[in-house]
Amino acid sequence: MLYRSVSDFYKEKFGCKVYKISLDAGCTCPTRDGTKGTGGCIFCSQSGSGDFAAERSLPLEKQIEQAKLKVQAKTGKSPGAKFIAYFQNFTNTYGDINRLEALWNKAAEADGIAGVAIATRPDCLEAPVLEAIARLCKKTFVSVELGLQTTNQKSIEYIRRNYETSEYNKAVQKLHAISKEIHVVTHIIFGLPGETEKDMLETVRHSLKAGTDGIKIALLHVLENTDLAEDYRNGKFECLSMEKYFELVAKALSIIPQNIVIHRLTGDGAKKILIAPLWTADKKHVHNELEKYLLKNVKPMI
Ligand code: SF4
């Protein structure tokens, strides 16, 4: 085994194939609503990094139904498969916590749902939010996804992340303190302008040291209607080539222990708004080539 993939992790945990379905809880972010800024993170799309999520105007039951049909159409019918209700867009612990908790509970109780995944920011985990997540953990499997992206200070400022890295460390601890079962995932971006290999691997090391249970590595995508697109078009940086990205992923995997769950190794930019790197548009090809490359180049850590 080169690495512990999320599908293997779900199979171990639930004994069946599990798919994530992306839902929209109707949230915003403190970096968008004026609390910590208005433009959002520099790379983030208009949909709050949830370009594949269900339609936000629909009630949650409908979103779940629609998202399940989408997965089934894409993968073919998978009898006995279960789903993780993934609150993906924007910051899903930011807003009226009673409303959010009601949505999480509704999702957890829906037919075929094996657990709930909540994407959020480390600075949006106040006590009432943690209490609500702790209650949810008693009902179902819960995964909380934290957008760390990088630990390089220059990059943090450039992407307008607007929280200190120490906040991320504390968030991982706080989440583990509320439940032994909780699964904390860290989102990291490779290829941020000006970052070196050392910077990217340092971010991976940092998340491991902080105690993350899972890692999601995404390649920086330049998407339409973002400030990052303007910098890209003005020639301020170049995107990573496929070869360089594969090399970085292989190096990252060689420092990630086998107990850590790998949730993703490629980016997931929607084709219709993707500006660069265009080699990522053919996801199947990238996935196959990456697997081949990793088989040849990764010596797994025990
Ligand atoms: S916090 Fe997340 S969803 Fe919000 S602007 Fe930043 S990347 Fe986008």
Structural domains in the chain, sorted by start: 4-297 (3.20.20.70)
Atom 6 in ligand 1: residue holding the nearest Cα: 41
CA of 67 to the centre of ligand 1 (A): 22
Q: Is the peptide bond before 30 cis (omega within 30 degrees of 0)?
A: no
Residue 160 alpha carbon, nearest atom of ligand 1? 6
Residue 73 has a pLDDT of 86
Residue 210 has a pLDDT of 98
Residue 29 alpha carbon, nearest atom of ligand 1? 4
Residue 72 has a pLDDT of 86
Checking phi first, is residue 90 left (phi over 0); if not, alpha (psi -120 to 50) or beta?
Answer: left
CA of 40 to the centre of ligand 1 (A): 6
pLDDT in tens, the chain (302 residues): 889 999 999 999 999 999 999 999 999 999 999 999 999 999 999 887 666 677 888 999 999 999 999 888 888 767 789 999 999 999 999 999 999 999 999 999 999 999 999 999 999 999 999 999 999 999 999 999 999 999 999 999 999 999 999 999 999 999 999 999 999 999 999 999 999 999 999 999 999 999 999 999 999 999 999 999 999 999 999 999 999 999 999 999 999 999 999 999 987 678 899 999 999 999 899 999 999 999 999 876 65
Residue 253 has a pLDDT of 96
CA of 178 to the centre of ligand 1 (A): 24
CA of 113 to the centre of ligand 1 (A): 26
C-alpha distance across the termini of the chain, in Å: 10
Q: Which of 217, 99, 213 is nearest to 148 (CA)?
A: 217
What is the rounded (10 degree) CA torsion for 120, 126, 131, 133? 0
Residue 43 alpha carbon, nearest atom of ligand 1? 7
Atom 2 in ligand 1: residue holding the nearest Cα: 90
Give the span between the Cα atoms of 151 and 153, in whole angstroms: 6
Contact 136, 156 (CB under 8 A): no
CB within 6 Å of ligand 1 — which residues?
29, 31-32, 40-41, 44, 48-49, 90-91, 121, 147
